[in-house]
Amino acid sequence: MFVQSFWRASKRGILSCIETHSRQKKGRTPDVRIGLGKPVMKVSWVTYRRAFYRANVRGEEIEIRVGKRTPALDGLLAREGKRRWIFVTACNPSARRLGAAENRVLTNALKSSLQSGGFLFFEGRSGSDAGDWPEEESFLVVGIRVQAAERLRRRFAQDAIVTGTRGGAARLSPCALLNRRSRSLRRPLARDSAASHRP
């Protein structure tokens, strides 16, 4: 019951993002509708931990693995004067597999949110080496604060995001399905104040 309720709330938040994205496209409306998707895929923390997270950073591919440090990413953070990063997707919200067109709409909405928030980000992909999880278009975002990252995850109904700080190992954020607070799904994404955690 909770999963169904969470998905309905998440869907409302996702549709709100799509409406905002379509308005930014000079009033055009998306030519696809976000449905419920296929049944929830069997996803465990093991699946997320074993996945690859790759970003194209100015012609260089950076691969992130949960539980490991990423020297190339540390170098990027040092050059940009940033401390914190996340790797996030908008595809297949709440682990419900959507079609390519639906995922593209969500990815574009996420990209628009990052652009409007003034974040530095790079396009990438995540997936499973074993091929048991479909590859998803994703984004590496550097210099984002904790609160903004959490609102972004909730807005796009993602079970988890990969995150970390300069010099540290990549880790998974808390799973949305284990966190029953459903607030902030439609709260506007904004850059956090100086009083928030340092990016």
Q: Is residue 158 part of a domain?
A: yes
* Number of structural domains found in the chain: 1
Q: What is the pLDDT of residues 108-151, one digit of tens each?
A: 999 999 999 999 999 999 998 887 778 999 999 999 999 999 99
Partner residues linked to 89 by β-bridges = 138
Q: Is residue 193 part of a domain?
A: no
CB-CB neighbours of 127 under 10 Å: 16
Q: Is residue 116 part of a domain?
A: yes
Q: Which of 142, 24, 140 is nearest to 88 (CA)?
A: 140
Q: Is residue 192 part of a domain?
A: no
Q: Is residue 23 part of a domain?
A: yes
Query: Side chain identity at 137, as an amino acid letter?
Result: E
Alpha-carbon distance of 149 to 153, in angstroms, equals 6
Place of tokens 């595809």: 91
Expressed as residue numbers, the domain containing 66 is: 2-178
Residue 53 has φ and ψ, to the nearest 5°, of -135, 105
Is the pTM higher than 0.75? no
Q: Is residue 190 part of a domain?
A: no
Q: Is residue 69 part of a domain?
A: yes
Q: Is residue 187 part of a domain?
A: no
